[in-house]
């Protein structure tokens, strides 16, 4: 069993739909990261959170430390949101390393 | 201000060869981490360096090595390349555990 599990693996939506991607982790963490990866490889950090909720534009990330679960929400989705969204658990004691989920491929159709 | 830079962007090698990948962190960042991303998978942690010292190592063979220089730039070296080493190699510099990723080096081993 992977230490960081994401669901769904693939997600197709129509423009304007509300999208939720889920992440469960079994490792102890200092922070939970949500990342976006476009075709070609570039990774952009969307959120780093250790409790509660963060919002940036149409993106919202929440985390429940007790349940070891986080969600990424996209409101009013747009085709430009199409990308792979990756959840990563950060921690590791004296060194800080990320343990990644396999990613969720999101396709938003116009 | 420049982000994390990596060189080269693409590289083709044959089995048994050696490769050196380079990473320059964001100015002021003292920590650099290396990740390997095989096609279709999430990234896997290889190394973390902080202030020129190795702080963490992932589950990779001794063919993989790295170092960090006084200016905090870093090199990842891979010896005796195997076909399975073909991947996107990502470097991230960090400040207060927030990770900033470079564009990656895509290595193809033939």
Contact residues for A67 (Cβ-Cβ < 8 A; gap 6+): none
Of the candidates B41, B58, B97, the beta carbon closest to that of A90 is on B97
Q: What part of A 18-57 touches B (C-beta under 8 Å)?
A: 30-31, 33, 35, 41-45, 48
Residue B85, SS3?
Answer: helix
Question: What percent of chain B is predicted at pLDDT more than 70?
Answer: 99
| Parallel, antiparallel or unpaired: strands B10-13 and A97-100 | unpaired
pLDDT in tens, A49-105: 989 999 999 999 999 999 999 999 999 999 999 999 999 998 765 567 888 999 999
φ, ψ dihedrals at A83, nearest 5°? -175, 180
Per the CB < 8 A criterion, the answer to whether A71 and A62 are in contact is yes
pLDDT band at B38 (very low <50, low <70, confident <90, very high): very high
Structure tokens at B82: 């195997």
Residue A86, SS3?
Answer: strand
φ, ψ dihedrals at B84, nearest 5°? -70, -10
Structure tokens at A22: 């889920």
**CA–CA distances in Å: residue A52 to residues A3, A31, B86, B92:** 21, 11, 38, 25
pLDDT band at B41 (very low <50, low <70, confident <90, very high): confident
Distance from the Cα of residue B73 to its chain's centroid: 11
Contact residues for B92 (Cβ-Cβ < 8 A; gap 6+): A98, B4, B32, B33, B35, B99, B100, B101, B102
The candidate with the shortest Cα–Cα distance to B26, out of B99, B77, B87, is: B99
Contact across the interface for A41 and B103, Cβ inside 8 Å: yes
Contact across the interface for A41 and B106, Cβ inside 8 Å: yes
Question: What secondary structure letter does DSSP report for B26?
Answer: P
**pLDDT greater than 80 at residue B1:** no
Question: Would you call B25 an interface residue with chain A, using a CB distance cutoff of 8 Å?
Answer: no
Query: What's the pLDDT score for residue A1?
Result: 59
As a whole number, mean pLDDT of residues B87-106 equals 89
Chain B residues lying within 8 Å of A95, measured CB to CB: 48, 50, 55-56
Query: What's the pLDDT score for residue B105?
Result: 95
Q: How far apart are CA B104 and CA A12, in angstroms?
A: 27
Count Cβ neighbours within 10 Å for each residue of B65-79 and write b for 16 or more, e otherwise: bbebeeebbbbbebe
């Amino acid at each position: 069993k992977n230490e960081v599990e994401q669901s769904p693996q693939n997600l197709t939506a129509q423009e304007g739909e509300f999208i939720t991607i889920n992440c469960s982790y079994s490792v102890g963490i200092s922070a939970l990261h949500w990342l976006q990866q476009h075709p070609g490889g570039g990774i952009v950090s969307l959120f780093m959170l250790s409790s509660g909720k963060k919002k940036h534009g149409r993106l919202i990330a929440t985390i429940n430390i007790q349940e070891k679960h986080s969600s990424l929400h996209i409101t009013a989705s747009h085709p430009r949101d199409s990308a792979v969204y990756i959840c990563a658990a950060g921690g590791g004691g004296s060194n800080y390393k990320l343990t990644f989920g396999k990613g969720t491929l999101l396709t938003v159709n116009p | 201000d420049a982000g994390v830079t990596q060189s080269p962007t693409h590289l083709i090698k044959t089995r048994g060869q050696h490769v050196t990948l380079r990473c320059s962190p964001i100015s002021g960042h003292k920590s650099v981490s290396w990740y390997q991303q095989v096609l279709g998978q999430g990234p896997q942690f290889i190394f973390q360096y902080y202030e020129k010292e190795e702080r963490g190592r992932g589950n990779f063979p001794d063919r993989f090595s790295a170092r960090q220089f006084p200016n905090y730039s870093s090199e990842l070296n891979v010896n005796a390349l195997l076909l399975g080493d073909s991947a996107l190699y990502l470097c991230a510099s960090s400040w207060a555990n927030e990770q900033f990723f470079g564009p990656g080096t895509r290595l193809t081993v033939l």
